[in-house]
Amino acid sequence: MSSTSRPRLGTTLALAAGGLLLAAAVIRLSVRDSLPATALVYYATPWPVQAALLVLVGGGLRLRNRSGWSAPVASTGLVMLVAWTISAHSTPENVGLRANTISCLTWNTDHGQAGWNRLAETIRGEETDLVCLVEAGPAELEHELFWRSAFPEYASGGLGSGMLVLVKNGTVRQTRSGSLDGNARYRQFDVNCRGQSLALVVVDVKSTPWISRQESLRQIADLVTAIPDRPVLVTGDFNTPTDSAWFDAWRPGLKNAWEQAGDGFRPTWPVPLPLLDLDQCWGNAHVVFVHCRAASSSRSDHRLLMTRFAIKPP
């Protein structure tokens, strides 16, 4: 690279990375994804991406004129990345495992790209009462028979909209399903597991970053509000990080499993370098979360989410 082109490249790199970093920081600390114009930047620039942009600013300053600011700026970016990694880890409080708890596995299986048999093998490796799958394949009889034969000890809610629910030591019956604002789909089930009943809502929100999640998430919250006298569990692939502005309205009536009992590294997507917690589990006032962890697998672009919860007695 010539001596004249390096300063030009450095200036371009520093200005581009710095401008995007400034916009991302302002959006994340203010309006977040509450405006269509800011949502794309918000989703594309989580804290680790902003840390990388800061490192690029330092690199641009180095190329431009070997500025003495290049090393401190780049070092700040690395410190920011380490700080985010630490903050993304959680240690559960000493809540203990309550008697008669129920475990739930939530996983986006990426349309079976790794092979359905291998995916089933991964699921069988986890001791779980409920299995809630997203992108679990087409609603065809042959594929549904595969899941039933792979998990003969589980009752099946049947495939629909790419979502599947399996229940061990219990029963499952679909009660409702449909589209939410055209940007998400859901299936609602009555579940009885180990003698305890609950309403289970499995959701799959579209991943298109420039589509607002406001109405879809509002309608999901309305589904839960319409069932005030029963335990309700809402889980699936929300394709929306939990620090989104649209989850603010959820928190008065719903609890997030990770925020209540998280253990380990939180983000679930994309594998192998997760940056966002898109796969989640929420519960209403009748549900008490006692443990929540994410487990990595090379067989999907999402980590699977393991949640353990107790149901409050009436």
pLDDT at 3: 58
What is the tens place of the pLDDT at every residue in 19-53? 999 999 999 999 999 998 899 999 999 999 999 99
Start-to-end Cα distance in the chain: 73
pLDDT reading at 240 higher than 60: yes
Locate tokens 């200036």: which residue?
Answer: 11
- Please, what are the domains in the chain? 5-87 (no CATH), 95-311 (3.60.10.10)
Q: Let me know if 260 is exposed, middle or buried by CB neighbors in 10 A (0-12, 13-18, 19+).
A: buried
What is the tens place of the pLDDT at every residue in 154-196? 999 999 999 999 999 999 999 999 999 889 999 999 999 999 9
The model's pTM:
0.93
Q: Give percent of the chain with pLDDT exceeding 90.
A: 85
> Cβ distance 273 to 302 under 8 Å?
no
Q: How far is CA 80 from CA 16, 75, 123, in A?
A: 19, 8, 35
Q: Report phi then psi at 185, rounded to 5.
A: -130, 155
Q: Give percent of the chain with pLDDT exceeding 70.
A: 96
Other CB atoms within 10 A of residue 243 CB: 15
What is the tens place of the pLDDT at every residue in 87-98? 999 887 655 556
pLDDT at 1: 53
Average pLDDT over every residue of 138-143: 92
Q: Which amino acid is at 285?
A: A
Q: Which long-range contacts (CB under 8 A, 24 or more apart) does 88-95 make?
A: 88/265, 88/266, 88/267, 89/264, 89/265, 89/266, 90/258, 90/262, 90/263, 90/264, 90/266, 91/263, 92/261, 92/262, 92/263, 92/291, 92/292, 93/261, 95/261, 95/290, 95/291
- Mean residue pLDDT across the chain: 94
pLDDT at 95: 56
Other CB atoms within 10 A of residue 45 CB: 20
